[in-house]
Amino acid sequence: MNRRFLGLIGAAALLSACNVTVTTPAYSSSNSLTLDAVSSYTSQYALLTSAQDQNGNTLAAGTPIICDNLNTRLDVGVSWTGDLQQIGIRFKGALTGDTSNTNVFGDRYSAPDYSGSGTASITIRPGLAPLKASSGVSAQAIIVTPITTVNVKGYTYVQAFGKDSSGNYSNVVESVTQIPVANCS
């Protein structure tokens, strides 16, 4: 083992003793890629009228939601610095802090993307198990379907990370706002 790896293990052990959570998406960290932010998200589904969640909080009409009982397409805006080769998306429960078991990656770009921003499109199947990611990043608009009846079950954050041209992983960034998760009809 190299000294850097052993140093990371020691640092993680020290931080865990202090109740600090260390988030790393993979085995090797990128020196050439940093994700800056999840800058936006749009869902295939939005509330037609205002609705109440399980705690009695009101969600405004037009609020994007994930339909837990339907396939749902999300467009996630991401900004970065460096050589992005692939974008990965996963979810983190707002209440539990649990992270989804599956990381969804788009296709590997033919050349690294240095543009600094783009939109990853993913479709998740019922139960928040990611189904697929589109090829690369795009500027395609999502068609929003209004939802009239919902039963809000909870909230989730979108997390994004990337791979650089050497296959090393970037840091993880998270959406600032939570996305409601609901059964829709």
| pLDDT exceeds 80 at position 127 | no
The dihedrals phi and psi of 8, each to the nearest 5 degrees, come to: -65, -40
The pLDDT of residue 34: 94
Instruction: Report, as an integer, the average pLDDT of 126-145.
Output: 52
The pLDDT of residue 110: 81
The pLDDT of residue 184: 87
The pLDDT of residue 89: 84
This prediction's pTM: 0.72
Confidence band, pLDDT 50/70/90 cuts, at residue 146: confident
52-78: pLDDT as tens digits: 887 888 889 999 999 988 988 888 899
CATH code of domain 27-184: 2.60.40
| pLDDT exceeds 50 at position 104 | yes
